[in-house]
Amino acid sequence: MDALSRRLASQAVLVLDGAMGTQLQARGLEPGGCPELWNLERPTVVEAIHRDYLAAGAEILETNTFGGNRARLDDYGLGDRTRDVCRRATEIALGAAEAFAAATGQPRALVAGSLGPTGKLMAPTGDLRFDQALELFREAAGALREAGADCLIVETMFDLDESRAATTAAVETGLPVISQLTFGRGVRTITGVDVPTMVRTLEGLGARVVGVNCSTGPEEMAAVVRELVAHATVPVSALPNAGLPEYRDGRVVYPMTPEAFAEAIAGFVELGARLVGGCCGTTPEFIRRVRARVKPAG
Ligand SMILES: [Zn+2]
């Protein structure tokens, strides 16, 4: 049995970490800068963020590779360093998890290799063919696996075709895969995909967990979680943003408090979600509140 399945077999709920991008920005990443480059150039900062999430109670860390595919990295002239970026990111997260486990005597947190969208539109709307997307995701997923990731997480996908490419590449590595779409308002993605179609497709490809992340705030996400639990035969994950982002004085602000967020997450657990955490705008304080709320004894 793989490590993720073992944890799922022994724990009713698993807590993932929160946002990486907004944490990097808080530590000086410029708007428009490449978050994944920090795996190579400022690894101690990335590791410190992982450490903060571990101290907050995260049981699964996501690697800093949301944009770690060749299509996205090409935008920064870094496409040829894709494998390096993915490898280093995994080593940093594993190092943080191992050090924390050694210091606390707790089981080592799992490391989930993050696979986010390419930023390109799939054909026929755009010009990214399915086979090209598959190759992009194979490169990243392969490097994440080689470096020792425990599982892979396909996230923030709004196009089911792109998710199919990423999920296929992820499952091919042999690692367990968490596969998540992002939803707009209501229970369809912005490309019109409904939950039963999503679940059938992703489970059919071999996803070990299906779920929802990013999207709007937790209030809107509850209906999606309810449908996911109703249709999925595998465990369900839910990682919302800290509310719907607002622009204030030219800055993106997430309106939700950690307390309200944790309360909403507790509601998702009551609905049946088994993997919970945070997306954009969440911080270690959000995860600390979530952990205390959904796993008070642990
Ligand atoms: Zn997000």
State pLDDT tens for residues 188-206.
Answer: 888 889 999 999 999 999 9
- 55 pLDDT exceeds 70? yes
State pLDDT tens for residues 136-160.
Answer: 999 999 999 999 999 999 999 999 9
Ligand 1 centroid to Cα of residue 228, in Å, is 19
Q: Residue 83: helix, strand or coil by DSSP? A: helix
How far apart CA 290 and CA 298 sit, in angstroms, is 12
Ligand 1 centroid to Cα of residue 180, in Å, is 11
Ligand 1 centroid to Cα of residue 293, in Å, is 21
How far apart CA 279 and CA 179 sit, in angstroms, is 14
Which CATH number does the domain housing residue 97 bear? 3.20.20.330
Around 114, how many Cα atoms within 13 Å sit in the side-chain half-sphere? Answer: 29
- Over residues 86-113, the mean pLDDT reads 98
Residue 87 main-chain phi, psi, to 5 deg:
-65, -50
Ligand 1 centroid to Cα of residue 240, in Å, is 7
Answer whether 238's CB lies under 8 Å from 214's CB. no
How far apart CA 215 and CA 295 sit, in angstroms, is 25
Ligand 1 centroid to Cα of residue 78, in Å, is 23
Domain that holds residue 248: 3-294
How far apart CA 159 and CA 181 sit, in angstroms, is 8
Report the percentage of the chain scoring pLDDT > 70: 100
Ligand 1 centroid to Cα of residue 282, in Å, is 9
State pLDDT tens for residues 107-130.
Answer: 999 999 999 999 999 999 999 999
- 185 pLDDT exceeds 90? no
**Helices 284-294 and 258-271 sit at what angle, rounded to 10 degrees?**
40
Say whether pTM exceeds 0.85. yes
Tell me what pLDDT residue 298 has.
62
Lowest mean pLDDT among 120-129, 159-168, 210-219, 254-263: 210-219
State pLDDT tens for residues 154-174.
Answer: 999 999 999 999 999 999 999
- Over residues 132-136, the mean pLDDT reads 98
Tell me what pLDDT residue 295 has.
95
Lowest mean pLDDT among 26-35, 124-133, 182-191, 203-212: 182-191
Amino acid at 196: P
At residue 297 the predicted structure's pLDDT band, cuts being 50, 70 and 90, is confident
Mean per-residue pLDDT over the chain, rounded: 96
Output helix, strand, coil percentages for the chain, rounded to the nearest 5: 50, 15, 35
Ligand 1 centroid to Cα of residue 103, in Å, is 31
The 3-state secondary structure of 20-53 reads: CHHHHHHCCCCCCCCHHHHHHHCHHHHHHHHHHH
Q: 246: which 2 tokens?
A: 């607002």
At residue 271 the predicted structure's pLDDT band, cuts being 50, 70 and 90, is very high
Report the percentage of the chain scoring pLDDT > 90: 89
Nearest CA to 254 out of 279, 237, 288, 284 is that of: 279
- 252 pLDDT exceeds 90? no
Nearest CA to 162 out of 202, 209, 216 is that of: 202
Answer whether 177's CB lies under 8 Å from 208's CB. yes
DSSP string, 147-204: TT-SEEEEEEE--HHHHHHHHHHHHHTTS-EEEEE---SSSB-TT--BHHHHHHHHHH
Question: What is the domain count for the chain?
Answer: 1
How far apart CA 98 and CA 112 sit, in angstroms, is 14
